[in-house]
Amino acid sequence: MTAQSPQLWTSQEIVAATGGILQGDSFEVSGVTFDSREVEPGWLFVAMPGTVADGHDYVARALAAGAAGLLVSRPGANSYGGPHILVDDVPRALIDLAIASRNRCGGKIIGVTGSVGKTSTKEALYEALERYSKGRVHRSVKSYNNHTGVPLSLARMPRDCEFAVLEMGMNAAGEIAALTRLIRPHVAMVTTIASAHIEHLGSMEAIADAKAEIFWGLEPNGLAIVPEDSVYRDRLVKAARKHAARTITFGHGEADVAVVHAVRSEHGGSLVTARLVESDLTYTIAQRGDHWVTNSLAVLAAVEAVGADLAIAGLALADMGGLKGRGERHRIAVDGGSYLLIDESYNANAASMAATLKALGEEQGVERRIAVLGPMRELGEHAEEIHAGLAPSVLDAKVDQLILVGEDMRPLERAIGAAVPMTRADNVDQACAALAAMVRPGDAVLVKASNSIGLAKLVEYMVKEPACSIG
């Protein structure tokens, strides 16, 4: 092991955690993954079964990439070509490894969920804690927040970390309950409640109840953090108090962690004065939009709760750049000048659409505002109503040109009518061609849709090829 790759697990520890049988030489690993494309030298490759592909079929690729050991369930003696631990059930073994990781952790663990902003808030919280305790903070990577991603994130948690920030997502009731009982957070946070997953859950109240399951796994003397500004605030507080020793709210007005004053900063973010539980803090946020002011309050509430340094957290918020697909900003050359492209292509629901359109409307020093919008998913019978309901946000943002992608955006097209010049696109390639023909120096372009629509491809084309040639 190198100093840059500390020991994460020994084969003996993996055997003890999973009840598996070691075949081949003992080994140590510095990382864990179930994606053979992610394997680095010295890592454990977990051969997860799947409906489309089976990890056992990628063992050779993992070993070629330098995997030190394998976690497998197909008996094969030494036919794998490398040391491996044989278990009856690989997904169950990964959960067992996650439990062992959680049991040996002596640090403070923060769990994050919500309909909007959970990944961004998780990343901001990580940056705040990492600046305070450099090299001793762990987090979920990407959006590994489901029944396989959470066990993987726990299995990757260093044995000596001081803080961990772990994200939890869901598509149905009961899913977060299972995840939070694995994570056993000391602090559990709900960022906000919105219409994401209403197709599966049926009502906003059911969504709030499903998110509130995060409190079920709280450690004794645990803290719950709840959004004050949500109409489901009282519902969340009531749910939290069944499991939390203490519940605090963040937002405006009477919130425990509240905005006292917020103005746009010189570089487009916000300068905020906040009242915290035990002190006040004035800080700058690099990210644009009122929703980021609220996100920052949740971050600071958690930082204060785990005893980290609030002033250092404020510095981290000032330095934090945009996340890919979640507000990353690109300045792209065109026709002797440049335009701004705001990448919000990773996810979308009614609340995040409204928030990012509002931020687009507040962009300063732009000639035109262009919005490239695609559908929101998992809305079920509410889809037409919710898509049409975006019209006021588009109009309030003073959008000059609108590109709507896909048939599901017809309700918004009808709701807006002739109020905004509009281009329809059946697919991402058509949207890209339309934007390339339209964009000019001084424009600000927002790209926003659910990830499955694939508007990340449009961003990639525009960033790499301003002319956006489509073959």
The answer to the question of whether 36 is labelled as a binding residue is: no
> Among residues of the chain, what percentage have pLDDT more than 90?
81
Question: CA-CA distance, 419 to 422, in Å (whole number)?
Answer: 9
CA atoms within 13 A of residue 300's CA, in its CB half-sphere: 36
Predicted local confidence at residue 6, as pLDDT? 84
- The residues spanned by each domain of the chain are 9-88, 105-319, 328-464
Class of the domain covering 328-464: alpha beta
3-state secondary structure of 246: strand
The answer to whether residue 308 scores a pLDDT higher than 90 is yes
Predicted local confidence at residue 467, as pLDDT? 42
The answer to the question of whether 471 is labelled as a binding residue is: no
The answer to whether residue 115 scores a pLDDT higher than 70 is yes
Q: Bigger pLDDT: 79 or 80?
A: 80
The answer to whether residue 466 scores a pLDDT higher than 60 is no
Which range has the worst mean pLDDT, 44-53, 120-129, 318-327?
A: 318-327
- 154 band by pLDDT with thresholds 50, 70 and 90: very high
Q: Which whole-number Å values give the CA distances from 255 to 225, 249, 274, 276, in the listed order?
A: 11, 5, 11, 9
Q: Bigger pLDDT: 157 or 324?
A: 157
Residues 6+ apart with CB under 8 A from 258: 228, 250, 251, 252, 274, 275, 297
- 289 band by pLDDT with thresholds 50, 70 and 90: confident
- Residue-wise pLDDT for 199-213, tens only, equals 778 899 999 999 999
Q: What are phi and psi of 403, to 5 degrees?
A: -115, 120
Q: Bigger pLDDT: 307 or 196?
A: 307
Predicted local confidence at residue 17, as pLDDT? 98
The answer to whether residue 123 scores a pLDDT higher than 50 is yes
Mean pLDDT of the region 218-240: 98
The answer to whether residue 345 scores a pLDDT higher than 60 is yes
Mean pLDDT of the region 46-74: 93
Mean pLDDT of the region 294-310: 97
Mean pLDDT, rounded, of the chain = 92
CA atoms within 13 A of residue 198's CA, in its CB half-sphere: 19
Predicted local confidence at residue 184, as pLDDT? 98
Residue 361 near residue 394, CB atoms below 8 Å: no
Which range has the worst mean pLDDT, 147-151, 236-240, 323-327, 454-458?
A: 323-327
Structure tokens given for 362: 């507040």
Predicted local confidence at residue 346, as pLDDT? 85
The answer to the question of whether 79 is labelled as a binding residue is: no
Residue 299 near residue 128, CB atoms below 8 Å: yes
CATH architecture under which domain 9-88 falls? 3-Layer(aba) Sandwich (3.40)
Domain spanning 105-319: CATH superfamily? Mur-like, catalytic domain (3.40.1190.10)
Predicted local confidence at residue 295, as pLDDT? 94
The answer to the question of whether 265 is labelled as a binding residue is: no
The answer to the question of whether 114 is labelled as a binding residue is: yes
- 348 band by pLDDT with thresholds 50, 70 and 90: confident
The answer to the question of whether 31 is labelled as a binding residue is: no
Listed residue (334, 331, 48, 306) closest to 188, CA to CA: 306
The answer to the question of whether 307 is labelled as a binding residue is: no
